[in-house]
Amino acid sequence: MKLTLKIWRQKDAKDRGKIVDYQLDDISPDMSFLEMLDVLNQQLIDKDQDPIAFDHDCREGICGMCSMYINGRAHGPDREITVCQLHMRSFSDGDTIYIEPWRAKAFPVIKDLVVDRSAFDRIQQAGGFISVNTSGNTQDANNILISKHAADTAMDAATCIGCGACVASCKNSSAMLFVGAKVSQYALLPQGQVEAADRVMNMVKQMDEEGFGNCTNTGACEVECPKGISLENIARMNREYLKANLKG
């Protein structure tokens, strides 16, 4: 395959950045998207040029690091995958491919395609946990009965890998699908009830302080989420938030 790549290059957080064109030949349709970028980077290194910085870790759709906006879509044209699961067969010979970092005020660009998503970590730290005594007195998990439906729904929410595709694809850069999933995975389980009100209040407060936008229910986040996290989680978070406020 012959490709024209239009890639966002930005030296550091202070640089204005710009789109730079690259030509690539002999790309196999069986390559993964990240392997294609590896080929390009090797060519740049061979020419003594700065390779393109991009995040990647597991390369099997679990870590959520490979965050790129490809041809106007988070993680590229296919549904429910991360970039490492995207293959060049999804493109055609002669295609022009735009590759950009996530765009959100709360996700500042560090370099090229790498963004700082520590805003998600701070939201998680604000309440995305349960307080358990783990000093050897932990009871057997099976002592707490949980319905199959609740366990499955909580697990669905917990599959969120915090990649940030929801923020990137939302026209408002809203993080509500991520926060909704994190609130839901605990709200659905008995272990999460004790701190439920504080959790949702603190996580929403932190989300707002980070500068994410307001959800307007376009549903783009749900479509682009590589793990298929449902909008139900945002509705559940809204209910939890209202409940917590009513309790005072």
Site for another protein in 30-49 (CB under 8 A): none
Total chain residues near another protein (CB under 8 A): 50
Q: Site map for another protein, 95-124, x if CB under 8 A? A: ---x-x--xxxx------------------
Q: Show the binding pattern over residues 2-31: x = contacts another protein (CB under 8 A), - = does not.
A: ----x-x--------x-x------------
| Binding flag, residue 208, another protein (CB under 8 A) | yes
| CA pair distance 184, 93, nearest whole angstrom | 43
- Residue of 55, 61, 64, 73 interacting with another protein (CB under 8 A): 73
Q: Residues 201, 244: contact at Cβ < 8 Å? A: yes
For residue 183, CA distances in Å to 6, 46, 57, 97, 129 come to 38, 47, 26, 36, 9
Which listed residue (4, 28, 92, 214) binds another protein by CB under 8 A? 214
At position 220, the amino acid (one-letter code) is: A
**Residue burial 176-193, b: 16+ Cβ < 10 Å; e: rest:** bbbbbbbbbbbbbbeebe
Beta pairing class for 109-111 and 114-115: antiparallel
Q: Which stretch binds another protein (CB under 8 A): 32-40, 86-94, 133-141, 170-178?
A: 170-178
Q: How far is the CB of 232 from another protein (least distance, A)?
A: 5
Does the protein bind another protein through residue 51 (CB under 8 A)? Answer: no
**Amino acid identity at 161:** I
